[in-house]
């Protein structure tokens, strides 16, 4: 649907020959018209989400549906916490995300600095391996890794979700290395001549200069952990240990779906991400653009 609209706009541009100015103006207006239509399409599901979360149950199941609830009912938001232990899931997600972010930032910055700046023997070889692991589908290692954690007795704990992050994440190592390489070498060389060791240079000079990129990594890894579904599904089987992504499915029984509370719960899951996005917007965009765009 969107594509058809984009195509439909192009004949407008042919009129350019008649009058440059009129053509430019029409082009401008049609661009805005398209943007407004597309924005409406993209934003509509959000409105639907919020609308449904505020509808009482009988209104959520009427046809034709109402976009703006006739009756504003905040009971769904209360039910979220009484129907299932949503508060517990929230806390679990926060605990897991906190430690994953901590582990990812600590390990990935150190490893990335090694790859960016220390010309040891075999560096290029290991860097190619690192990039290779980014392409590796996690399903290939999923079963043996599950067996390892199972042997350790870590099933139904947060450890399988948290511990691997302390060994660095290839994607973030790559991202940070790209950032570190943009820092002028002269700074580090001066520090070296002033008697600073390599780790000191990394800790006292490079890291403080890389705060924006570290924030980017922290935000992205938080987001991915918060959203993660497959690993909690495999490792957590006790209701009290569920993270949000797993816990919210409690509202969707095989026969009965609690529409209103389910949407209210969705709003509550999305909310921290939206807030973080607005607080750290430039870091998000920067992080995504750096790894995707440049190389």
CB of 212 to other proteins, least distance (A): 16
Cα dihedral: 108, 110, 111, 117 (round 10): 130
Q: Among the candidate windows 9-17, 70-78, 81-89, 205-213, which touches other proteins by CB under 8 A?
A: 9-17
What is the C-alpha separation between 228 and 64, in angstroms, rounded?
35
User: Which residue is it, tokens 């989400």?
Assistant: 49
User: Which residue is it, tokens 């924005």?
Assistant: 39
Residue 171 binds to other proteins (criterion: CB under 8 A): no
User: Which residue is it, tokens 């969705």?
Assistant: 266
Q: Among the candidate windows 70-78, 81-89, 210-218, 226-234, which touches other proteins by CB under 8 A?
A: 226-234
- What string marks each residue from 267 to 286 as x (binds other proteins by CB under 8 A) or -? --xx--xx--x---x---x-
CB nearer to other proteins: give 13 or 78. Answer: 13
Residue 195 binds to other proteins (criterion: CB under 8 A): no
Q: Which of 19, 22, 25, 32 is in the footprint of other proteins by CB under 8 A? A: 32
CB of 246 to other proteins, least distance (A): 8
CB of 167 to other proteins, least distance (A): 2
What is the C-alpha separation between 79 and 140, in angstroms, rounded?
40
CB of 161 to other proteins, least distance (A): 13
Contacts for 225-232 with beta carbons within 8 Å, 24 or more apart? 225/96, 225/97, 225/100, 225/101, 225/161, 226/93, 226/97, 226/269, 226/272, 226/273, 228/161, 231/160, 231/161, 232/96, 232/161
Residue 74 binds to other proteins (criterion: CB under 8 A): no
Residue 19 binds to other proteins (criterion: CB under 8 A): no
Residue 45 binds to other proteins (criterion: CB under 8 A): yes
146: closest CA among 158, 155, 133? 155
Helix 86-117 with 211-227: angle, nearest 10 deg: 140
Residue 148 binds to other proteins (criterion: CB under 8 A): yes
Name residue 257's beta-bridge partners: 252
Residue 293 binds to other proteins (criterion: CB under 8 A): yes
Residue 76 binds to other proteins (criterion: CB under 8 A): no
Residue 182 binds to other proteins (criterion: CB under 8 A): no
């Amino acid at each position: 649907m969107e594509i058809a609209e984009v195509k439909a706009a192009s004949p407008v541009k042919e009129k350019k020959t008649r009058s440059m100015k009129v053509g430019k103006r029409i082009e401008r207006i049609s661009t805005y018209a398209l943007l407004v239509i597309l924005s409406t399409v993209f934003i509509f599901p959000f409105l639907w989400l919020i609308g449904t979360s505020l509808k009482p149950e009988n209104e959520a199941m009427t046809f034709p549906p109402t976009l703006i609830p006739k009756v504003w009912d905040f009971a769904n938001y209360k039910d979220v916490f009484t129907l299932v232990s949503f508060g517990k899931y929230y806390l679990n997600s926060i605990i897991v995300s906190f430690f994953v972010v901590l582990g990812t930032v600590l390990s990935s910055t150190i490893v990335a600095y090694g790859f960016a700046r220390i010309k040891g023997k075999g560096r290029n070889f290991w860097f190619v391996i690192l990039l290779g692991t980014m392409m590796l589908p996690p399903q290939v290692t999923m079963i043996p890794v599950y067996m390892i954690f199972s042997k350790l007795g870590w099933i139904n704990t947060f450890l399988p979700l948290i511990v691997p992050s302390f060994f660095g994440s290839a994607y973030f190592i790559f991202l940070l290395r790209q950032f570190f390489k943009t820092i002028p070498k002269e700074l580090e060389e001066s520090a070296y001549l002033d008697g600073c060791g390599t780790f000191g240079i990394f800790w006292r000079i490079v890291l403080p200069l890389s705060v924006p990129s570290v924030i980017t990594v922290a935000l992205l890894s938080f987001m991915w952990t918060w959203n993660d579904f497959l690993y909690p599904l495999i490792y957590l089987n006790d209701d009290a240990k569920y993270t949000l992504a797993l816990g919210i499915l409690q509202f969707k029984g095989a026969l009965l779906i609690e529409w209103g509370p389910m949407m209210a719960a969705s709003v509550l899951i999305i909310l921290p991400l939206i807030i973080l996005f607005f607080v750290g917007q430039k870091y998000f965009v920067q992080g995504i653009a750096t790894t995707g765009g440049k190389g």
